């Protein structure tokens, strides 16, 4: 009986031990994926920013500038590109919409971002673009990979259409979460004008004929929850200038926008709560269940060996029963 029990426990131990790497290395890459139909928006604000008045071509300080970033998943495009690429992909149609304190548009820049659903590596396919211009991204954008590391990453900048390092700066606690801090600096770079200008009748082509150019620099910072790879906070010290040409009336340059852009408080709270829930689910696949399964497997193995050892232990000789002699009658 003990030997049967030890064999059963041994089988359970082997199952638990095999389940641990199976969850971590097989199930995790197949289950931890960005959904193709995901929709999310984010509101950022730059209070006390400097903004160009295109009517007078003079920069002035305003109460705030609002940036609304929207990401919408294109399911049909993801299926079509995924069949060609041979792996699950996500297609995000993004829009960065900037408006002044009066609610009027300052700029709108659409994007199409195509990436691997699990690793977040860019997938190059027809339609990958920024503001209608075809691009070929290298590195990440918007989101870090699952199980992000304490290292520098390559991060794509939509304004310059270039990829630059974003540096790991340290680990800290933010709203009860352990996060990694990253920072990227884009030096002053000549960038194209948006296809849609804030003044009717003015186009990038008409501005280009005046000889005026647009320049941009920024310092962007993110706090990233490493398990999900999701930024829970972001900010930018953002500056844009118009330089040269007849449009400026002889001036060398004029500030088009300057401000410290930060996530709005209600969106920070929403993002942190969402990341905490998703973090728990991912830890079930990567840590809690695999480690628990391995520990249970070792415990069952030890119990199985203990029972097997007891079953093999030699037993002492059985006590002999002496028969009493029958009485003899005289």
Task: Tell me the pLDDT band of 94, cut-offs 50, 70 and 90.
Answer: very high
Report the predicted TM-score, pTM, of the whole model to 2 decimal places: 0.87
Cα 38 to the chain's mean position, in Å?
A: 13
Task: Tell me the pLDDT band of 110, cut-offs 50, 70 and 90.
Answer: very high
Q: CB within 8 A of 259, min separation 6: which ones?
A: 46, 47, 48, 49, 50, 65, 238
pLDDT mean across residues, the chain:
89
Specify the range with the lowest mean pLDDT, choosing from 119-133, 157-171, 172-186, 279-293.
Answer: 279-293
pLDDT of res. 3 = 63
Residue 204: phi and psi, rounded to 5, are -55, -35
The Cα–Cα gap between 187 and 216 comes to 8
pLDDT of res. 293 = 85
Residue 27: phi and psi, rounded to 5, are -75, -40
Token couple for 121: 């590596």
222 pLDDT exceeds 50?
A: yes
Task: For residue range 235-275, list pLDDT tens digits in order.
Answer: 999 999 999 988 888 889 999 999 999 999 999 999 999 99
Domain ranges of the chain: 2-20+285-312, 32-263
Specify the range with the lowest mean pLDDT, choosing from 33-37, 51-55, 214-218.
Answer: 51-55
Token couple for 55: 């009517």
67 pLDDT exceeds 90?
A: yes
**195: number of Cβ within 10 Å:** 14
Q: 67 in helix, strand or coil?
A: strand
The Cα–Cα gap between 120 and 25 comes to 17
pLDDT of res. 330 = 43
Task: Tell me the pLDDT band of 12, cut-offs 50, 70 and 90.
Answer: confident
pLDDT of res. 24 = 82
């Amino acid at each position: 009986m003990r030997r049967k029990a030890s064999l059963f426990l041994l089988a359970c131990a082997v199952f638990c031990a095999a389940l641990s790497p199976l969850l971590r290395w097989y199930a995790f890459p197949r289950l931890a994926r960005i959904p193709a139909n995901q929709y999310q928006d984010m509101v950022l604000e730059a209070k006390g920013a400097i903004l160009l008045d295109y009517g007078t071509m003079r920069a002035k300080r305003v109460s705030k500038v609002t940036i609304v970033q929207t990401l919408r998943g294109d399911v049909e495009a993801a299926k079509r590109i995924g069949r060609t690429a041979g792996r699950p992909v996500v297609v995000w149609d993004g829009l960065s919409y900037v408006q002044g304190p009066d609610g009027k548009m300052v700029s709108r820049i659409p994007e199409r971002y195509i990436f691997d659903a699990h690793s977040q590596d860019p997938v190059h396919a027809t339609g990958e673009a920024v503001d209608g211009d075809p691009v070929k991204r290298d590195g990440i954008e918007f989101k870090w990979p699952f199980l992000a590391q304490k290292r520098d990453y390559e991060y794509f900048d939509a304004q310059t259409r270039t990829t630059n390092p974003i540096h790991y700066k340290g680990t800290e606690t933010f709203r009860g979460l352990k996060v990694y801090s990253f920072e990227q600096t884009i030096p002053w770079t000549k960038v194209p004008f948006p296809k849609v200008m804030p003044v009717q009748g003015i186009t990038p082509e008409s501005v280009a004929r005046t000889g005026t150019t647009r320049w941009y620099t920024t310092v962007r910072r993110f706090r990233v929850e490493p398990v999900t790879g999701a930024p829970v906070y972001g900010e930018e010290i953002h500056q844009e200038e118009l330089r040269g040409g007849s449009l400026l009336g002889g001036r060398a340059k004029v500030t088009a926008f300057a401000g410290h852009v930060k996530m709005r408080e209600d969106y920070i709270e929403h993002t942190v709560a969402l990341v905490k829930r998703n973090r728990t689910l991912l830890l079930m696949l990567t840590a809690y269940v695999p480690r628990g399964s391995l520990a249970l497997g070792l415990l069952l193995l030890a119990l199985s060996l203990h029972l097997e050892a007891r079953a093999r232990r030699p037993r002492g000789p059985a006590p002999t029963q002496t028969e009493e002699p029958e009485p003899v009658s005289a």
